[in-house]
């Protein structure tokens, strides 16, 4: 039976099933494994801006996003912040740190009201020891995370300009939302400063680039709605 959280979200009995995304890490596990996972998780609702864990903190366990999104970021001693990704519903946060026992590599901050499952580290490790199918999926996910991080570092390090980096980011968002459609409408939930933190640039540069893209009729931007009008132009910027 769903219950109401103090933040206006309904807390359902489980978000480990495959009703939203087939690519969820623990989607379609065997019945015994799913039962074991249900027994060790706790579900809660969090408000926008809540921090699930902080970079450098000893790992307490993993969070599985049922809905909502989380900003994963890392910072430097001089106060600079780099947003590594926006995690979506179905993703498992804190996986690498929980498995390795090393501190969390990033800070996870929610960008909208979110419901999530939490599993204590020791309970999660015991679950993996007892269920080989789940352990294999975790190993595959960690491998995928490694390759994704490699591609992101490569993109940041080898991209020759901020316009190329922004074009690549917009194309990634377009592919995630509308596949290969030539015209894509997106809800822009991030500020120009946050977008700058994702591409290693400044807020002023992002604002200037958006104005330039609008002038060249590559995009339209009305409030928080972003319309990519000329996907081919973005692809040319990335491949130039």
**pLDDT at res. 149:** 77
Distances in Å between the Cα of 19 and the Cα atoms of 14, 57, 119, 127 are: 11, 32, 20, 23
Q: Which residues of the chain have pLDDT under 70?
A: 1-23, 155-160, 177-182
Residue 162 DSSP class: H
What is the rounded distance in angstroms from the CA atom of residue 157 to the CA atom of residue 93? 25
| pTM as predicted | 0.73
Q: What are the residue boundaries of the structural domains of the chain, listed by start?
A: 3-158, 162-239
For residues 205 and 192, is the Cβ–Cβ distance under 8 A? no
**pLDDT at res. 42:** 95
**pLDDT at res. 223:** 83
What is the rounded distance in angstroms from the CA atom of residue 84 to the CA atom of residue 72? 6
What is the rounded distance in angstroms from the CA atom of residue 27 to the CA atom of residue 17? 6
What is the rounded distance in angstroms from the CA atom of residue 227 to the CA atom of residue 104? 36
Domain 162-239 falls in which CATH fold? Arc Repressor Mutant, subunit A (1.10.10)
pLDDT tens digits, one per residue of 151-195: 777 766 666 688 988 998 898 888 876 655 667 888 887 889 999
For residues 114 and 70, is the Cβ–Cβ distance under 8 A? yes
**pLDDT at res. 179:** 55
Tokens of 213: 């893209």
Q: Does domain 3-158 have CATH number 3.40.50.300?
A: no
């Amino acid at each position: 039976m769903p219950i109401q959280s103090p933040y206006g979200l309904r807390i359902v009995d489980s978000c480990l099933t495959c009703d939203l995304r087939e690519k969820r890490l623990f989607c379609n596990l065997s019945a015994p494994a799913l039962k074991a996972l249900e027994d060790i998780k706790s579900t809660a609702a969090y408000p926008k801006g809540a921090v699930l864990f902080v970079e450098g903190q000893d790992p307490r366990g993993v969070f599985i996003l049922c809905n909502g999104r989380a900003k994963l970021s890392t910072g430097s001693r001089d106060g600079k912040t780099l947003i590594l990704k926006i995690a979506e519903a179905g993703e498992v946060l804190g996986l690498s740190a929980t498995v390795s026992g090393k501190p969390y590599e990033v800070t996870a901050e929610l960008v909208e009201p979110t419901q999530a499952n939490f599993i204590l580290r020791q309970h999660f490790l015991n679950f993996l020891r007892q269920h080989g199918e789940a352990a294999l999926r975790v190993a595959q996910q960690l491998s995928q995370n490694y390759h994704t991080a490699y591609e992101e570092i490569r993109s940041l390090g080898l991209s020759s300009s901020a316009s190329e980096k922004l074009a690549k980011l917009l194309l990634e968002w377009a592919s995630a939302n509308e596949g290969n459609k030539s015209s894509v409408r997106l809800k822009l939930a991030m500020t120009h400063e946050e977008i700058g933190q994702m591409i290693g640039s400044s807020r002023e540069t992002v604002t200037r680039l958006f104005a330039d893209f609008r002038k060249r009729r590559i995009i339209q931007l009305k409030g928080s709605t972003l319309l990519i009008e000329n996907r081919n132009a973005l692809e040319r910027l990335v491949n130039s």
